[in-house]
Copies of this chain bind each other. A is one copy, B any other.
Amino acid sequence: MSQQIPDALKNLSWELPRNFLGLEGDDASWEKAGVVILPIPYESTVSYQGGTKMGPDAIIQASRFIELYDQELDGEPGVEIGVCTLPSLHLTSAGPEHAIRELREAMDTVLEAAGDRLVIGLGGEHSITSAPVLAHAARLGEGRRLTILQFDAHGDLRPEYEGSRWSHAAVIAQCIDQADVVQVGIRAITADERALIRSRPGNITTIFAEEMWADDAWVDRAFDALGDDVFITFDVDYFDPSLMPATGTPEPGGPAWYPTLKLLRRVFTEKNVVGADVVELAPMGGNAAPDFVVAKLVYKMIGYHAGGRRGG
């Protein structure tokens, strides 16, 4: 998706392209790509200070400073698999219901076009997740049921929030009839969400953050609750606020980096990950560290996916 530069100027020394990882030429082309990055800077039903609209740009900007080589995987997965970054989707300002419907239609189009490519959405607020989840669930063959693997501090299981079913705080509730959900890192829910979780034990599996800090036993428990087909939604407030202050409602007591990677690697290697998104980064003026954390997280997903494809 590189810019068109007149031939006479091709040989000048241009900056790295504005795409995820700053890939040049073919490595970033739609044709080659095994992964598609879809920025969805949608922000409407914000809590508190907002800013998730600036998330995709910040992630892409930081990603251009990430090393392509991944020493855990001993390779350059971004180059090997190819990563095509689409422009940002622009959703209507007519309200969340209209916007999410528009997004759902866009997701159908994108998934259809993408074929085998893994599409990773970059939010924006968490309310965007129902669109890809329901699009993927609808595309799964007869008899297959999607599991959402939700990394999050919050349950997002309310029936509605502030007058809208399309709120970030209700987004997973919109999906639990069409998919199961395994939530990890949860540490802020309502009493009603707690009751809902208890009432749907096969449908909703919740691993609370306070079960996760002593050791990594939770990784197996989370993995075991997944079905074969998994959509990963990663709300960055899952992480401890020390690592991830740049989000709307940070909650102390969140999980750390390496155990999270451990679960992600296993899921990408042993399950069929149909799609993913990373949401709720609200970049902070003057502190780019959270942007780097998220960019690296996305690249680890790409790496694990690339490894999974080649049998890694």
Interface set of A (CB-CB < 8 Å, partner B): 1-6, 8-9, 11-18, 30, 41, 43-51, 53-54, 65-69, 71-72, 74-76, 86-98, 102, 106, 109-110, 112-113, 154, 161-164, 166-167, 186-191, 193-194, 208, 210, 213, 240-243, 245-247, 249-253, 257-258, 261, 284-290, 292-293, 296-297
Contact = CB atoms under 8 A, between A and B. Distances in A.
Contacts of A48: 65, 288
Given A11-B109, A252-B297, 8 more contacts: A5-B87, A8-B109, A43-B46, A68-B191, A71-B208, A94-B166, A241-B290, A252-B292
B250 A164 contact: no
The 8 closest A-B pairs by CB, nearest first: A95-B95, A92-B163, A245-B289, A285-B285, A242-B242, A93-B162, A8-B113, A241-B289
How many chain copies does the complex carry? 6
Contacts of A4: 1-2, 4, 30
A13 B89 contact: yes
B14 A88 contact: yes
Contact of A93 (B17, B96, B98): B96
Contacts of A241: 243, 289-290, 292-293
A164 B13 contact: no
A287 B16 CA distance: 27
Contacts of A98: 95, 163
Contacts of A261: 253
Contacts of A76: 191
A166 to B, nearest CB: 8
Contacts of A208: 71
